[in-house]
């Protein structure tokens, strides 16, 4: 079990004051654990992360990595270098999609949309699947398992499996199948055996390294994603249900944060608008979404307006695709309302305002009628009134 330090001891190790640690915790710059008595404790891996010195006394207490689950990796003085990624094939389930070393498309129908459209290359697309640097669960898992936070060192060793899509990396001529390894049906990889002792790391598992986004999140199992300390986010989901919107991820609150049901499966995977190939640098991806998904996309952007979610980007909505054929099936369920009650409301796309005015007004009238049932009902009512004036 990982060791945890008091604020005083952690401050001594890091050479800062206890107030600095409190400030870092409040700002999300360091992950602190709360005891039943609401006292802060700092995990050992966080100390090592902040120090950033693999030769330090604290960092050396973190077990050094010995082996990976799917390939032999070369261990240098400290970080790990995974060699010969070019010998891998990008797979979708058991279908070969792309030869990385030859830059050769093997199955056009299953290629990520952005690669097919030429808006991203393979490496850029892969980066869209990485957990970002504020996902402490992912960072700590990578450090404990690999001695580094670099996804480049992790993706080949783990096969880059995700619980959002059915893509993975297979070594050329390797006799292994998707069903042999997929976390949809097998026990999650939770690190690796280190110095003969099984790592009991509790903060995440293999597919947590490949769940996009910035917030601290981890898969509990193949069916449930936990977003740590995200409690206010339940309000938009409840509002959607109250308005009768059905294209919605199931959500419930736990003691640790909001838990979201996985809307992907062995048969159907998710592709965001970003991964589909709609670049926000060149166009308004929300405009494109309205063209593609019509009232479903309009409803999502109305909800964003009502709850002042000012952080909807092209990686926060998209398609469901058939994992066998690559067919684009439908809009994916609504999810990700991280930045709500921001004080700002992003205007609806022009084609939503001009083409779906009556539908927008219908949703807003319903929202005003039920606003009293919500903690931030006055904001919902205010924002709905603004949309009714258009």
| pLDDT greater than 80 at residue 1 | no
Least confident of 128-137, 138-147, 254-263: 138-147
For residue 290, give the nearest of 282, 281, 302, 279 by alpha carbon: 302
Please check whether residue 195 is in contact with residue 189, taking contact to mean a CB–CB distance below 8 angstroms.
Answer: no
Residue 213: the pLDDT is: 79
Q: At what angle do helices 295-306 and 234-242 cross, to 10 degrees?
A: 130
Q: How confident is the model at residue 280 (pLDDT cuts 50, 70, 90)?
A: low
Residue 28: the pLDDT is: 76
Average pLDDT for 111-119: 94
Q: How confident is the model at residue 52 (pLDDT cuts 50, 70, 90)?
A: low
| pLDDT greater than 50 at residue 75 | no
Q: Domain 4-61 carries which CATH code? A: 1.10.1660.10
Alpha-carbon dihedral sign for residues 238, 294, 319, 312:
negative
Least confident of 24-33, 322-331, 380-389: 24-33
Least confident of 71-75, 144-148, 273-277, 324-328: 71-75
C-alpha torsion angle, residues 113, 119, 124, 125 (rounded to 10): -10
| DSSP 8-state class, residue 158 | H
Residue 118 Ramachandran class (φ > 0 left, ψ -120 to 50 alpha, else beta) = left
Q: What is the mean pLDDT of the chain?
A: 82
Residue 60: the pLDDT is: 40
Highest mean pLDDT among 3-12, 86-95, 191-200: 86-95
Look-up of token digits 């910035």 = 214
- The ranges assigned to domains in the chain are 4-61, 74-215, 258-388
Residue 333: the pLDDT is: 97
Residue 86: the pLDDT is: 63
Average pLDDT for 366-376: 95
Please check whether residue 62 is in contact with residue 3, taking contact to mean a CB–CB distance below 8 angstroms.
Answer: no
For residues 205 and 189, what is the distance between their CA atoms, to the nearest angstrom? Answer: 5
For residues 90 and 107, what is the distance between their CA atoms, to the nearest angstrom? Answer: 10
Average pLDDT for 336-364: 93
Residue 36: the pLDDT is: 60
For residue 289, give the nearest of 272, 303, 305 by alpha carbon: 272
- Residue 231, SS3? coil
For residues 193 and 210, what is the distance between their CA atoms, to the nearest angstrom? Answer: 21
Please check whether residue 132 is in contact with residue 212, taking contact to mean a CB–CB distance below 8 angstroms.
Answer: yes
Residue 31: the pLDDT is: 85
Radius of gyration for the alpha carbons in the chain, expressed in angstroms and rounded: 22
Look-up of token digits 């084609």 = 351
Q: How buried is 55 (Cβ within 10 angstroms: 0-12 exposed, 13-18 middle, 19+ buried)?
A: exposed
* Phi then psi dihedrals of residue 272, to 5 deg: -70, 165
For residue 125, give the nearest of 98, 148, 107, 146 by alpha carbon: 98
Number of C-beta neighbours around residue 111 at 10 A: 19
Look-up of token digits 């850029």 = 124
For residues 50 and 59, what is the distance between their CA atoms, to the nearest angstrom? Answer: 10
137 or 384, greater pLDDT: 384
| pLDDT greater than 70 at residue 316 | yes
Structure tokens at 299: 């409803």
DSSP lists the bridge partners of residue 105 as: 98
Structure tokens at 346: 């992003």
- Angstrom distances, CA of residue 131 to CA of 12, 159, 160: 30, 15, 12
% pLDDT > 90, the chain: 49
Residue 286: the pLDDT is: 92
Can you spell out the DSSP letters for 312-372? --TTSSEEEEETTT--EEEEPPB----S-S-S--PPPPHHHHHH-HHHHHHHHHHHHHHGG
| DSSP 8-state class, residue 303 | H
Can you spell out the DSSP letters for 125-136? HHHTTSB-TT-H
Please check whether residue 342 is in contact with residue 308, taking contact to mean a CB–CB distance below 8 angstroms.
Answer: yes
């Amino acid at each position: 079990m990982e060791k945890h330090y008091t604020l005083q001891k952690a401050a001594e190790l890091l050479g800062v004051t206890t107030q600095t640690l409190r400030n870092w915790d409040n700002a999300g710059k360091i992950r602190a654990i709360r005891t039943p008595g609401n006292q802060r404790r700092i995990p050992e891996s966080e100390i090592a992360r902040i120090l950033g010195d693999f030769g330090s006394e604290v960092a050396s207490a973190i077990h050094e990595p010995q082996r990976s689950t799917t390939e032999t990796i070369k261990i240098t003085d400290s970080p790990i270098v995974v060699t010969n990624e070019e010998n891998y094939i990008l797979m979708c389930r058991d279908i070969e999609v792309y030869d990385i070393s030859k830059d050769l498309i093997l199955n056009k129908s299953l290629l990520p949309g952005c690669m097919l459209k030429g808006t991203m290359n393979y490496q850029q697309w892969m980066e869209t699947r990485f957990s970002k640097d504020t996902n402490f669960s992912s960072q700590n898992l990578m450090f404990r398992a690999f001695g580094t936070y670099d996804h480049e060192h992790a993706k080949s060793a783990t096969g880059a499996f995700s619980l959002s899509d059915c893509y993975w990396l297979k070594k050329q001529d390797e006799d292994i199948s998707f069903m042999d390894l997929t976390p949809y049906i097998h026990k999650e990889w939770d690190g690796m055996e280190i110095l003969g002792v099984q790592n009991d790391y509790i903060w995440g598992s293999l597919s947590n390294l490949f769940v996009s986004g910035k917030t601290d999140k981890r898969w509990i199992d193949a069916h449930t994603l936990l977003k740590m300390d995200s409690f206010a986010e339940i309000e938009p989901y409840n509002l959607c249900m109250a308005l009768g919107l059905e294209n919605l991820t199931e959500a419930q609150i736990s003691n640790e944060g909001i838990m979201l049901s996985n809307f992907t499966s062995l048969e159907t995977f998710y592709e965001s608008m970003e991964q589909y190939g709609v670049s926000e640098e060149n166009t308004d991806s929300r405009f494109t979404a309205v063209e593609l998904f019509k009232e479903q996309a309009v409803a999502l952007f109305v909800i964003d307006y009502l709850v002042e979610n000012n952080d909807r980007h092209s990686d926060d909505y998209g398609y469901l695709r058939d994992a066998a054929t690559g067919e684009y099936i439908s809009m994916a369920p609504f999810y990700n309302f991280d930045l709500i009650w921001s004080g700002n409301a992003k205007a609806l796309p022009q084609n939503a305002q001009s083409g779906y005015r009556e539908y927008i007004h219908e949703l807003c009238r319903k929202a005003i009628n039920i606003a009293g049932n919500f903690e931030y009902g006055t904001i919902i009512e205010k924002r709905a009134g603004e949309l009714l004036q258009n």
